[in-house]
Structure 1
Amino acid sequence: MNFRVNWDAMGVAASLACAIHCAILPLLLTSLPVLGINIIDNEAFEYFMIVLAFGIGVYSLRHGYKKHHHSTLPIIMFSIGISGLIAKQIWHKYQLWILPFAVLLIVAAHLMNFRACRVHNHAHEDDCDH
C-alpha cells in the first residue's frame, strides 16, 4: 500500500488549529487556570505552534516548488504569514490585528501550493512524485 501524506492539508490544519487556539480558546476555556492548566497566552505553547506550522509549511512548500509548480508566490505568502505569527509574539498587544492576516496568508499559501501541485502537467515526470 502506498501511503502518502498531504503536507499542504496538514499545513492548513496546523494553521487552523493555531487560529482556533488563539481566537476561540480564550472565549471557551477561561476556567482552565482554575484547574492549573494554562495554554492561553502560554509562550512555550505559542512558539511550539509557530515552529510546527513552520516545519510543515517549509516541507510542503519546498516539495511543491521543487517537484511540481516552481512558483515562488506560495513561499512568499507563507513567509509573510510566519513573520506575522512571530510579530504577534513580539508585539503581543497587537496580536488581534496581526493574527488573522498571518493565518490567512499561511492557509492561502498552502491552498495555492496544493492547487498548483494538482494542475502541474508533469512534463518532466522523471523528477515528479505522483
Structure 2
Amino acid sequence: MTITKNGILDKVGIWISSLCAVHCLALPILLPIAPLIGASFFADAWFERTILSLSLLVGFWALFSGFYRYHRQLYPLYSLSVGGLIYWNKGMFGDAYEPLTIAVGAFLLISAHIVNLKLCSDCKACEDH
C-alpha cells in the first residue's frame, strides 16, 4: 500500500491547510491575549510563512504523487498553486479583504487535496497497486 493510495498525504495536507486558515482567521481575536500566555510568536510573519510552506510542500508531494503514479490530471496542482499564491499574498487587497483572501486561498488548497483523493480513488491504475 502506497502513501498516496490511502490518502495519508492528502489528509495531512487538508489538516495543515485548515489549521493555517484557522490560525490566520482567529489571530486578530486571539492577538491581544497572546503576550499573556507567551505565544506572541504566533503573530510573526515567519511563523505564518513556515506553516504555509509546510502546507505547500506536503501538498505538492501528495498531488504530484497522485499525478505521476495514478491519474495524470494537472488541475489539482493548479488549484494548489493558485491557492498558495493567493494565501502567500493575502494582504494584496488590503486589510479589509484579508479574511476573504485567506478563505479563498484555503479553499483552493483544501479542495486540491479533496480532488486528488477523489481522482486517486476513482483511478483504475490505483486499483492495480
TM-score where L is the length of structure 2: 0.84
For 1:123 and 1:34, how far apart are their aligned partners in 2? 50
Unaligned regions of 5+ residues in structure 1, if any? none
Residue 112 of structure 2 corresponds to 109
- Normalized per residue, which structure has more helix? 2
SS in 2 for 1:24: helix
For 2:127 and 2:117, how far apart are their aligned partners in 1? 18
For 1:91 and 1:18, how far apart are their aligned partners in 2? 19
Shift of 1:95: 1.9
Q: What value does the CA root-mean-square deviation take over the aligned residues? A: 2.4
Deviation readout 1:25-48 (Å, 9 max, x if unpaired): 432463112344214431010110
Unaligned regions of 5+ residues in structure 2, if any? none
Runs of at least 4 residues off by over 4 Å: 2-5, 89-92
For 2:123 and 2:77, how far apart are their aligned partners in 1? 17
Residue 61 of structure 1 corresponds to 63
SS in 1 for 2:113: helix
TM-score where L is the length of structure 1: 0.83
Structure 1 position 98 matched with structure 2 position 122: no
Matched positions, count: 125
